[in-house]
Amino acid sequence: MFVQIKNLTFHYKNSQKPLFENLSLNFKQGEVSVILGESGSGKSTLLRLIAGLEVPSRGSILIDQAVMNDNFRFVQPEKRGVGLVFQDYALFPHMTVEKNIKFGLTKMNRKQKQARMEELLAIVGMEDYASRYPYELSGGQQQRVALARAMAPNPSLIMFDEPFSNLDSKLQLQIRDELQEILKRTGITSIFVTHDEEDARSIGDRIILMNNGKIQDEGLPEMVLQKNKEKLSLAYV
Amino acid sequence: MYLIRKMRSQFNSWALLSVIFSVLILLPALLIMVQLFAESNENWEHIKEYMLKNYVVNSVTLVSFTGLFTVLIGVSAAWLVSAYKVPMHRFFKWGLILPLAIPPYIGAYTYHGILNYTGVIQTTLRNQFGIKVDQKFFDIMNIPGAVFIFTMFLYPYVYIITRSFLENQSSSLIENARLLGKGSFMTFIQVVLPVSRAAIVGGVSLVILEVFNDYGVVKYFGIQTFSTAIFQAWFGMGDIYSAIKLAGTLMFIVVLILILEKVIRGRKQYSYSTSKVRPLQPKELKGWKKFAVLSFFISLFALAFAIPFIQLLQWVYMTYDVILSAAFADLIWNSVFVAAIGSVLIIIVALIIANFSRLSKGWIGKVFSKITVLGYSIPGAVIAIGVLTLFLSLDEKVITLYEWFGLEPTLVLSLSISMLIFAYVVRFLAVGFNSIESGFDKVGTVFTEASRTLGMSVTKTFFKVDIKMIKGAIAGGFILVFVDILKELPLTLILQPFNFYTLATKTFQYASDERIHEAAVSSMVIICISALSIFFLHRVLEKEPK
Ligand SMILES: Nc1ncnc2c1ncn2[C@@H]1O[C@H](COP(=O)(O)OP(=O)(O)OP(=O)(O)O)[C@@H](O)[C@H]1O
Ligand SMILES: [Mg+2]
C-alpha cells in the first residue's frame, strides 16, 4: 500500500463535531483513485490532511512506508514530496509560467531546471507559453500549468482537487482525457477529487464514495456506481 | 501530546519571534498597570485630592463634545456626499478628507494666530473699517475653542469610515427605503443612521482616542487634562511616580471606553468589503437644496482646511528666508531618520506577527493580533511614561553592571534615540499591522499552501511568495506609519534626547514661544507630506476594487 491512513480523527477548530472519526483508507501504488462525494463531505479536507496542511488530532498517515504523522511526529508539508493541484490552481500571479514551474525545483542547478521545465511544458503541451503570466492564460491553460508545476519536483504522489470545476464542459472532456493520458504515461500514484460521476467513471481505476466524512463504498468504478445508483441520483437531484 | 505535536507543526522561530515582540510591546503597559496599584506618595495624594477631578472633567468634556460634533458633521457629510450630486462632487468627496493632514496642534495655533489681537481678522477690522471688537469675542483658547479645533481636524475619521460603508454596503437598503416612499430626511434618520451605527462608532472611537492622545492643543490653550498633568508631573516636578499613576488612570479610562465601544457596536462589524456589492448611485440635486448642500461643503472645507492652509502659506512667505537654513535641514533629517527607522522596524515586526497569526489559525493568532493593536489605543504620553520606566529600570541594571566592572556609571539607554524609536514601535505597530493583515486577508492562504506542497518551508515561502503578494499593503502600511511618526507630538516631547528636535516638536516649541509665524514652514512640510500620503492611499484604495 502506498498511502495508508489509519484511524484518522480530525475536526476544524470552529466546529464541535469531528469531520473524520477513525477513518481508515489505503491507496495503491500507480493507481488513479477517485474520491467521489457531494459538496461538504470532506474531500478537500482529506487531501489537505495527506498533504500536511491540516493537523489531525489522532491517527496516522504513512506514505511509501514513511510515517508522515502519528501521535508523536508531524512531517511538514514541504518535506512530504506530495504534489497538490488546487481547486482554483493557485498559480503565483507574480511569476511567469516558467517561474511557476521552476518554483519547486530547489535541488537542481540552472540547466537541469530549464530542462525539466521544458520537459513538463512539452508533456502538457504548453511549450509556447513559458513567458506568460497566469492571468494571460485561459482556464484550461492554467489548469495544465498547475499540473506541470505540481509534477515538476517528481512527487511520489499527486492529488487533484476538482481540477475541472472551472472549465466549460467541452474543455472538461478534452482536459480530462489529456490528464488521464499523462497520468497513465508517467505511472504516478494519484488521488483525484470530484463530485462528477462521469469524471470518476472515466478517469478512475478505483472509486471511493465519501459522505459526511465517512467512506460509504469503494471498489471498481462500474461496480461502485452501479451499486450506489439510487443514492447517487438522489444526492444530485 | 496533541498540543506538543501541534506546536511542532507550527514553525518554531516564527512563534518565538512573535512571542518576544509581543512581550516587548506589552511591557510598558504592564509596568504602568503594576505601578498603578503600588502604594502612593505625597505628591500623588495631593494630585488625587485637588486636581484629578479637574482632569477628569476637562478630558471628559472635551471628548464628549468633540465626539458629538464629529458625528454630526462627519455623518452628514458622508451621507450628503454618497447620496447626492452637487457641482464639484469629486473634489469635495476627497477634499473633505484633507483636514486630516493638519494635526490639531497646528490647527490650534494657526487659528489662534488668525483670531488674536494682531491676527488678520482683528487688524482688518481695525485698519480697514475702524471697528474695534473686544478680543474676548475672538478668544478660542478655552474648552469650546479646543472642541472646535478637534472637531474640524478630526471629523474626517467619522466621515471616511461612514462614507465607505454607505457607498459600498447599503445601496439596496437605501434604495428600498426610497422606493417605499420615504423622503430623504426620513431615510437618513430611519435607515442610514441605524445601519451605519457600527461604522460611526468605529470612526468616533478613533476621534476619542486622538483627543485623549492630544497634548499640543490643550497645552497651547492652557486646558488642564491628563496629558498636561503627566507632563507637569514628569518635567515640572521630576516625579515619575505620579506620572505613572496619572498614566495608569488615563489608560484605565481608555480601556473602559474601548469596552463601551465593543458593547455599543455589538456583533455588527462594519467592513470595507470590496465584493460585488453595487455602489450607491448619487442623485442630482436642484434648487435651494443644491445650494444648501453646496454651502455646507464649502464652509466645512474652508474652515477645516482652506483657511488655516492659506494663513500658513502667508506665514511661510513671511518667514521662509529666515527659517530655511542648515538647522532646518537638520530638523528634516532628524524627522525623516526616526520616522524611517521606526516605520521599517514596525513593518518588519508587523510582517512577522501577522504571518504567524494568520498561519496558526485558531485563537493563538487572534491573541497576537489583539496585542499588537493595543498600543494605538493608549495615549502617546502614557506609552512614553511606560517606556521611560522600562528603560530607567534597565539602566539601573546596566549601571550595577558597569560598577561591577569598575566603570563610570552613566545612563546608557534612557533618553537615547533607541528609546524613542522603541516607543514609536509600541505606539504605531497597530497602524502597520492593520494594513499588512488586510493585505494577507485579501490574498488568503492558498498560495502559501501551494508553495509549501512544492517543497518550500514557511520562511522561504514568506520571502518568495507571501511578501511579493502583499507589496501594496506593505507600501501602504509604511507610508501611514511614516506620516504618523512624523506628526507625533506628546510621546516625542517626553522621550526626545537632549537637543534633538523633530519637525513636530520644533513646530510646537515655536508656537509655545509665541513665534507662530516661524512655526509655519515646518507645519507646512508636515501638512504637505501628510496630504501626499492621503492622496496616494486613496488613489490606491480607489483603484483596488476594480
Ligand atoms: N477552514 C475551515 N474551517 C472550518 N470548517 C471547514 C473549513 N473548511 C471546510 N470546513 C467544513 O468541513 C466540511 C468539509 O469541507 P471540505 O472542503 O473538505 O468539503 P468538500 O467535500 O471538499 O466540498 P466541495 O465539494 O464543496 O469542495 C464542510 O462542512 C465545511 O463546512
Ligand atoms: Mg473541496
A49: chain B residues, CB-CB within 8 Å:
none
* CB-ligand 1 contact for A212 (6 Å cutoff): no
Q: Show the cell assigned to A152.
A: 515538476
* Under 8 Å between Cβ of B394 and B413: yes
Task: Measure the CA–CA gap between B291 and B378, rounded to whole angstroms.
Answer: 42
Confidence class of residue B10 from pLDDT cuts 50, 70 and 90? low
Asked whether residue B543 carries a pLDDT value surpassing 80, the answer given is: no
Ligand nearest to the CA of A86: 2
- % of chain B residues with pLDDT over 70: 90
Asked whether residue B475 carries a pLDDT value surpassing 50, the answer given is: yes
b (16+ CB within 10 A) / e for A210-237: bbebeebbbeebeebbeebeeebeeeee
pLDDT number for residue B273: 44
Asked whether residue B419 carries a pLDDT value surpassing 50, the answer given is: yes
What SS3 state is found at B281?
Answer: coil
CA nearest to B216, candidates B111, B334, B106, B303:
B106
Q: What is the mean pLDDT of residues B108-132?
A: 84
Asked whether residue A65 carries a pLDDT value surpassing 60, the answer given is: yes
How far from the centroid of its chain's Cα atoms is residue A236's Cα?
A: 23
Confidence class of residue B169 from pLDDT cuts 50, 70 and 90? low
* Under 8 Å between Cβ of B73 and B80: no
* CB-ligand 1 contact for A45 (6 Å cutoff): yes
Q: Which of A42-51, B105-114, B258-267 has the lowest mean pLDDT?
A: B258-267
Confidence class of residue B544 from pLDDT cuts 50, 70 and 90? very low
pLDDT number for residue B277: 54
* Under 8 Å between Cβ of B48 and B407: no
- B464 close contact with A: CB closer than 8 A: yes
Task: Measure the CA–CA gap between B276 and B546, rounded to whole angstroms.
Answer: 10
Compute how many other C-beta atoms are within 10 angstroms of the C-beta atom of residue B261: 17
Confidence class of residue B151 from pLDDT cuts 50, 70 and 90? very high
Nearest neighbour of A106 by CB, restricted to B6, B449, B455 = B455
CA nearest to B211, candidates B148, B159, B256:
B148
The residue of chain A nearest to residue B364, with distances taken between CA atoms, is: A13
Phi first, then psi: give them for residue A198, nearest 5 degrees: -60, -45
What confidence tens digit (pLDDT) does each residue in B243-298 have?
888 888 888 888 888 888 878 776 555 544 444 456 677 788 888 888 999 999 99
Compute how many other C-beta atoms are within 10 angstroms of the C-beta atom of residue B457: 14
* CB-ligand 1 contact for A47 (6 Å cutoff): no
Task: Measure the CA–CA gap between B519 and B322, rounded to whole angstroms.
Answer: 11
Asked whether residue B349 carries a pLDDT value surpassing 90, the answer given is: yes
Q: What is the mean pLDDT of residues A57-67?
A: 91
Note whether B450 contacts A71, CB cutoff 8 Å: no
Q: What is the mean pLDDT of residues B140-149?
A: 92
Cα A23 to Cα A20, A213, B73, B509: the distances in Å are 6, 8, 60, 71
- The residue nearest atom 6 of ligand 1, judged by CA position, is A12
Most A CBs within 10 Å, among B454, B456, B462, B464, to test the A interface:
B454
A39 CA to centre of ligand 2 in angstroms: 7
Asked whether residue B464 carries a pLDDT value surpassing 80, the answer given is: yes
pTM recorded for the entire structure: 0.86
Is B318 exposed, middle or buried (CB count within 10 Å of its CB: 0-12, 13-18, 19+)? middle
pLDDT number for residue B372: 81
Name the residue type at position B529.
I
Most B CBs within 10 Å, among A78, A84, A147, A166, to test the B interface:
A78
pLDDT number for residue B213: 92
Q: What is the mean pLDDT of residues B6-11?
A: 54
Cα B430 to Cα A233, B25, B336, B370, B421: the distances in Å are 53, 11, 20, 9, 15
CA nearest to B485, candidates B455, B529, B515, B518:
B529
pLDDT number for residue B304: 95
* CB-ligand 1 contact for A19 (6 Å cutoff): yes
Confidence class of residue B518 from pLDDT cuts 50, 70 and 90? confident
Instruction: Return the beta strands (E) in B110-240 as ranges.
Output: none
- B13 close contact with A: CB closer than 8 A: no
What confidence tens digit (pLDDT) does each residue in B193-236 have?
887 888 888 889 889 999 999 999 999 999 999 899 988 888 88
Task: Measure the CA–CA gap between A10 and A20, rounded to whole angstroms.
Answer: 5
Q: Which of B231-245, B292-306, B343-357, B451-465 has the lowest mean pLDDT?
A: B231-245
**DSSP 8-state secondary structure symbol assigned to residue B275:** S
- The residue nearest atom 1 of ligand 1, judged by CA position, is A12
Q: Which of A72-76, A138-142, B273-277, B298-302 has the lowest mean pLDDT?
A: B273-277
A15, A161, A216: which to mutate for ligand 1, most atoms within 8 A of CB?
A: A15
Asked whether residue A236 carries a pLDDT value surpassing 90, the answer given is: no
What confidence tens digit (pLDDT) does each residue in B377-406 have?
889 988 998 998 888 888 888 777 777 777
What interhelical angle do B197-213 and B52-83 show, nearest 10? 140
* CB-ligand 1 contact for A163 (6 Å cutoff): no
Q: What is the mean pLDDT of residues A58-81?
A: 89
Report ipTM (2 d.p.).
0.88
Q: What is the mean pLDDT of residues A105-120?
A: 92
The residue of chain B nearest to residue A104, with distances taken between CA atoms, is: B454
Q: Specify the residue for cell string 473633505.
A: B96
What SS3 state is found at B408?
Answer: coil
pLDDT number for residue A44: 92
Asked whether residue B542 carries a pLDDT value surpassing 80, the answer given is: no
Task: Measure the CA–CA gap between B133 and B405, rounded to whole angstroms.
Answer: 70
What confidence tens digit (pLDDT) does each residue in B39-73 have?
777 777 777 777 888 888 999 999 999 999 999 99
- The residue nearest atom 31 of ligand 1, judged by CA position, is A40
pLDDT number for residue B350: 94
CA nearest to B379, candidates B427, B424, B342, B434:
B427
pLDDT number for residue B266: 62
- The residue nearest atom 4 of ligand 1, judged by CA position, is A12
Q: What is the 3-state secondary structure (H, E, C) of chain A?
A: CCEEEEEEEECCCCCCCCCEEEEEEEECCCCEEEEEECCCCCHHHHHHHHHCCCCCCEEEEEECCEEEECCCCECCHHHCCEEEECCCCCCCCCCCHHHHHHCCCCCCCHHHHHHHHHHHHHHCCCHHHCCCCHHHCCHHHHHHHHHHHHHCCCCCEEEEECCCCCCCHHHHHHHHHHHHHHHHHHCCEEEEEECCHHHHHHHCCEEEEEECCEEEEEECHHHHHHHCHHHHHHHHC
What SS3 state is found at B85?
Answer: strand
**DSSP 8-state secondary structure symbol assigned to residue B84:** E
